[in-house]
Amino acid sequence: MSESSATSLPQALLTARQSTSADVWHRRPGHPSSQILRLLVSNKKKVSCTSKQFHFDYQACPLGKSSRLFLGPTGHKTSAPLELIYSDVWGPSPMLSFDGFRYFVIFVDAHTKYIWLFPLVAKSDVFTIFHQFQTQVERQFSVKIKSVQTDWGGEYRKLNTFFKSIGIHHRLICSHTHEQNGMV
């Protein structure tokens, strides 16, 4: 068959019908529940099964089908730039950047959605970078940062004391719920 005719005709892979155990059918993609498998077996044209025992006790099944609930909007609205800044650190990168950076810190303004990204050699550099960021944005917008929201990672703990000393409200998200950290 020529290459052009092979690509123009619909193709399918067919195999001889085999009867297989319910356990094997369950372990195939999707891990169907006992109820679904019974339905498929009852219609002989769909699945041929050698056993009628439909009790599966795999720990991975319910975990694989679980999902997180949608957190939804918080209802918090900002009316001006720098009322709320979201921040998070990403890293370590599996590869060093050309300049030797392994981490990145991001700052997102909740009102304007402006994003500032700074490369870091170490997570501990967040303190120094925040000072640079603060000076830059407060000069650009002619307004002070009012609050910063973080995940309370170790890199932000040193900043917490600094925030208190200059009147920045430090908002914290629940641990391990990165979805709560706004745009970041």
- The string of pLDDT tens digits covering residues 6-28 is 555 555 444 555 667 777 766 66
The H or E element that residue 61 is part of is: helix 60-65
Residue 72 covered by a domain: no
Asked whether residue 45 falls in the same domain as residue 104, the answer is no
pLDDT at 9: 57
Asked whether residue 54 falls in the same domain as residue 100, the answer is no
Burial of 87 (0-12, 13-18, 19+ CB in 10 A): buried
Whole-model pTM over 0.85: no
- The boundaries of the domain holding residue 141 are 85-180
Q: What is the DSSP string of 103-115?
A: EEEEEEETTT--E
C-alpha–C-alpha distance, residues 176 and 95, integer Å: 24
Burial of 33 (0-12, 13-18, 19+ CB in 10 A): middle
Residue 142 covered by a domain: yes
Asked whether residue 89 falls in the same domain as residue 61, the answer is no
